[in-house]
Amino acid sequence: RHHVLSLADFTAAEYNTVLQTAASFQEVLSRRTKKVPTLQGQVVANLFFESSTRTRSSFELAAKRLSADTLNFAAATSSMTKGETILDTAKTYLAMGTDIMVVRHREAGVPNAIAAEMDRLGVKVSVLNAGDGQHEHPSQALLDLFTICTLIDPASPRLELLKGKKIAIVGDILHSRVARSNIWSLIASGAEVHLAAPPTLLPKLFAEYILEEAGVKNQNFIISSSPTPHSPLPTPQLFLHWQLEPALQNADFVMTLRLQKERMTAHLLPSLREYHQLFGITSTKLQLCKPNVKVLHPGPVNRGVEISSELMDDPEFSLIQSQVTSGVAVRMALLYLIGSSKV
Ligand code: CP
């Protein structure tokens, strides 16, 4: 694999390679020196056309821990303000000797367009999607996977550990690239994935589209709004709910999603207060889940909206800080595997 643009076509072997490589880099990061010379001489350019805190910083730190040289681009302070195009910007970084481009953009498909241009030019530059519009956020889903798998088996994180686990993804599914990438990885693991959102954030048409896409890989899914979904299929894997409770019932993990106000065109429905009341995750609602349930959130968080402030900071349940920590090792793994063309 030359580029990582989507998890839709990732194989189980590829997921496990990323997980095992990230585990070995986690060990490197626990050492005093924290660095390896693996990508010495290579240039990693972070091309962020949309704002970011954790993805940009952890890709930068990951590249530095691998001894690569890093270039950081932010659209607002770049020559794009003078009219330079996205592809001309990418070619400018190519001309400086960039080996890996990490690309974020608010429109879906921009990383793919840059990758296509690099391929057309016949250059050996890899493109990593760091989040494109409502499409995908592969490195986030991989770090979520790594966070969960290392919790179950720190010595040997692997995809199979999630087989049969119930995982609820709650919130703004419609606008979430994180949800889409997580759906691919969790279905590949054999987990039971429950999406829960109000109808405005999981419209029926969009739900059918997700199911159709998922159906290409796996026929076992069901739409349900009842507390006890019934499926004619033997092992349903993807459930959709317009209520929170059936998704939380006996869940092993709950992934909460940020309400992406910047991507909403209509007046927000439900309101933030209504959303928190109906779908916000709190300690009380968590009692529906398994006793040792853990809660994830990709960040940034709207405190007190998708998750209560108190639960967000509770180390017994919240994996939010672990997710950020995992991000460095997982992104080291991606840069290393792409840099040495092993994924
Ligand atoms: N989770 C995530 O992508 O966060 P940032 O927008 O801060 O990178």
In the chain, domain spans:
12-137+327-339, 138-323
CATH number of 138-323: 3.30.70.1450, 3.55.40.20, 3.40.50.300, 3.40.50.1370?
Answer: 3.40.50.1370
Q: Is 166 among the annotated ligand-binding positions?
A: no
Residue 229 pLDDT level (bands cut at 50, 70, 90): very low
Q: What is the pLDDT of residue 221?
A: 53
CB of 327 shorter than 6 A to ligand 1: no
Q: What is the mean pLDDT of residues 10-27?
A: 97
Q: Is the model more confident about 165 or about 213?
A: 165
CB of 300 shorter than 6 A to ligand 1: yes
CA of 27 to the centre of ligand 1 (A): 24
**Whether residue 101 has pLDDT greater than 80:** yes
CA of 55 to the centre of ligand 1 (A): 5
CB of 139 shorter than 6 A to ligand 1: no
Q: Is 180 among the annotated ligand-binding positions?
A: no
Q: What is the mean pLDDT of residues 149-176?
A: 96
CB of 299 shorter than 6 A to ligand 1: yes
- Specify the ligand 1 atom closest to the Cα of 131: 3
Q: Is 137 among the annotated ligand-binding positions?
A: yes
Q: What is the mean pLDDT of residues 103-119?
A: 97
CA of 259 to the centre of ligand 1 (A): 13
Q: Fold for domain 12-137+327-339?
A: Rossmann fold (3.40.50)
Q: Is 300 among the annotated ligand-binding positions?
A: yes
Q: What is the pLDDT of residue 264?
A: 77
Q: Is the ipTM of this complex over 0.95?
A: yes
Which residue's C-alpha comes closest to atom 6 of ligand 1? 52
Which is it for strands 166-170 and 126-132: parallel, antiparallel or unpaired?
unpaired
The pTM (predicted TM-score) of the whole model is 0.93
Q: What is the mean pLDDT of residues 147-176?
A: 96
CA atoms within 13 A on the CB side of 43: 13
**Whether residue 274 has pLDDT greater than 60:** yes
Topology agreement, domain 12-137+327-339 and domain 138-323: yes
Which residue's C-alpha comes closest to atom 7 of ligand 1? 53
Residue 234 pLDDT level (bands cut at 50, 70, 90): very low
